[in-house]
Amino acid sequence: MSTQTEYDVEKGDSVRPGKPVIVSRYRGAARINHWITAASLVLLALSGLALFHPSLFFLTGLFGGGQLTRIIHPWIGVILFFSFCGLFVRFWRANLWKRVDGTWLARISDVLRGREERLPEVGKYNAGQKAVFWSMSVLILILITTGIIIWDQYFSAYTTIQQKRWAILIHSIVAILAICVWIVHVYAAIWVRGTISAMTKGTVTGGWAWRHHRMWLRELVAKSTTKQSGGTPLG
């Protein structure tokens, strides 16, 4: 039978006793993967906005001018797509939706007011983090698809003018949505103290894990106890 631990506890997650207790949340490879994705998103947003409207054309100066911006933008998109694929492979299981996530969302007012004692215990990711993950998964897939359609340098012979027009419209709308989701993600990471250091150092304190992801911490402790007892869970 599947257990919660199979989904929420990922390779490398562990608890190290001490004062304070240290919990390993992200391995080095996952953190590098995350920051490549983050950097790609920022560069894509800047270069995309530069091409989006004449009033923002000055942003092309960051990339060496209009022509270079037009050349570089789709290639950054390719990097983003494959980098996010790496994140997807790593994290999709822990982001599967569960019944507790619906309860967490229903109490979103308590989340915004910081009344976490009124929230249900959650695993490695809460409903908000899962919503960001799956939203970006869909949006990036649409962006790469529409981006290929309008990438005339390599694919102009395979699409019609009408298809390109629709692709540009969809690409622009989805790009704005992706930027909005990214802003929410960054704001939440800053708002919840300790979140950013988890993705820079790879660890959090036991107190942080207990407050924000208690179910995940319980699973880690149970897993650690099982190993120490020779494979038999302690009662």
Instruction: Output the CA–CA distances (angstroms, integers) from residue 75 to 31, 40, 133, 223, in the order listed.
Output: 22, 10, 22, 42
What's the pLDDT at 230? 55
Instruction: Output the CA–CA distances (angstroms, integers) from residue 168 to 147, 172, 175, 201, in the order listed.
Output: 8, 6, 10, 39
Q: What average pLDDT is seen over the chain?
A: 89
pLDDT greater than 50 at residue 188: yes
What is the Cα–Cα distance from 210 to 155, expressed in whole angstroms? 51
The strand pairing partners of 23, in sequence order, are 15, 204
What's the pLDDT at 143? 97
Question: For the residues 15-37, what does the mean pLDDT come to?
Answer: 93
Measured from the Cβ of residue 17, the count of other Cβ atoms closer than 10 Å reads 9
Is residue 134 classed as helix, strand or coil in its secondary structure? helix
Question: For the residues 168-178, what does the mean pLDDT come to?
Answer: 97
pLDDT tens for each residue of 194-208: 889 899 999 999 999
What is the Cα–Cα distance from 168 to 118, expressed in whole angstroms? 45
Selected catalytic residue, list 73, 185, 212, 213: 185
Assigned architecture for domain 7-96+104-113+121-222: Up-down Bundle (1.20)
CB 50 within 8 A of CB 56: yes
pLDDT range class, residue 1, cuts 50, 70, 90: very low
* Active site (annotated) includes residue 53: no
Name the one residue in this structure whose structure tokens are 């039978």.
Answer: 1
Domain map (residue ranges) of the chain: 7-96+104-113+121-222
What's the pLDDT at 43? 97
Report which secondary-structure segment, H or E, holds 203: strand 203-205
| Predicted structure pTM score | 0.88
What's the pLDDT at 165? 96
What is the Cα–Cα distance from 180 to 203, expressed in whole angstroms? 27
